[in-house]
Copies of this chain bind each other. A is one copy, B any other.
Amino acid sequence: MTPPPGTTVTPKGQQRAQRFLDAALEVFTEQGFEAASVNEVVRRAGGSLATLYKLFGSKEGLFIAVIERRAMSVFEPIQDALANDLLPHDGLTRFGRRLLDFLLEPEALALYRLVLNDLHRHPELARRFLDSGPFRTLGELADYLAHQVALKRLVIDDCRLAAGEFTGMLIGDLHIQIMVGQVPTLSRAERLRRVDSAVRRFLTSA
């Protein structure tokens, strides 16, 4: 939370924008885009409505700014799980655990749901989100798989398709439950079991 001490002090304007963005993230994730009130954002962030509008132009502009700043990089911790020197079993297990942890963490979950609920009205933004988020993650998993194929550790025809299948197996029906708000409480043991099952199934078929 404290700014890095080496950098020059952020101009006041930047701080204001930050506080607006933080509050907007809260309000948007709690209420969704339509139900969220700009006045509520100002109420939480401090500052004034006029300033917010000077910075972001509109409610939509505020929403876009929020998504750009946070949602785009929300998948990054998952991608970091993959290193080409890891054996398939280990790499996939690490990847799987992080993916499930991410999907079930309330904070990331709320943002995820916000994006899925409200991004369909902004096609360009949706495409960019897909490219820098889920698709990029899938791409990196596909690259990892391709590398393992090159090392003769796996036999896979279409690595991109296989990547989708593996993540699909991991997630299974969690997706639907999450979207309708019925997020299941999965114990750590259950998550691990799920990951192990998907990894085993994937490896014995590749």
> Chain A residues in contact with chain B, CB under 8 A?
32, 34-35, 113, 115-117, 119-121, 123, 126-127, 129-130, 134-135, 138, 157-158, 161, 164-165, 167-173, 175-177, 179-182, 194, 197-198, 200-202, 204-206
| Distance between Cα atoms of A158 and B190 in the complex (Å) | 13
23 A–B contacts from the bound complex (CB under 8 Å) = A32-B34, A34-B35, A113-B120, A119-B181, A120-B181, A123-B181, A126-B182, A129-B180, A130-B180, A157-B197, A161-B172, A161-B197, A164-B173, A165-B172, A165-B198, A165-B201, A167-B173, A168-B173, A175-B175, A179-B179, A200-B205, A202-B205, A204-B204
CB-defined contacts of A201 to chain B, threshold 8 Å: 165, 201-202, 205-206
| Distance between Cα atoms of A120 and B32 in the complex (Å) | 11
In the complex, the chain B residue whose C-beta lies closest to that of A203 is: B205
CB-defined contacts of A181 to chain B, threshold 8 Å: 119-121, 123, 126
Contact of A119 among B119, B158, B180 (CB under 8 A): B180
CB-defined contacts of A205 to chain B, threshold 8 Å: 200-202, 204-205
| Distance between Cα atoms of A206 and B198 in the complex (Å) | 12
Contact of A116 among B119, B126, B169, B179 (CB under 8 A): B179
CB-defined contacts of A165 to chain B, threshold 8 Å: 168-169, 172, 197-198, 201
Known: A119-B181, A130-B180, A164-B173. 17 other contacts (CB 8 A): A32-B34, A34-B35, A119-B180, A120-B179, A121-B181, A123-B182, A126-B180, A129-B180, A130-B176, A158-B197, A161-B172, A161-B194, A161-B197, A165-B197, A168-B170, A168-B171, A204-B205
| Distance between Cα atoms of A127 and B135 in the complex (Å) | 30
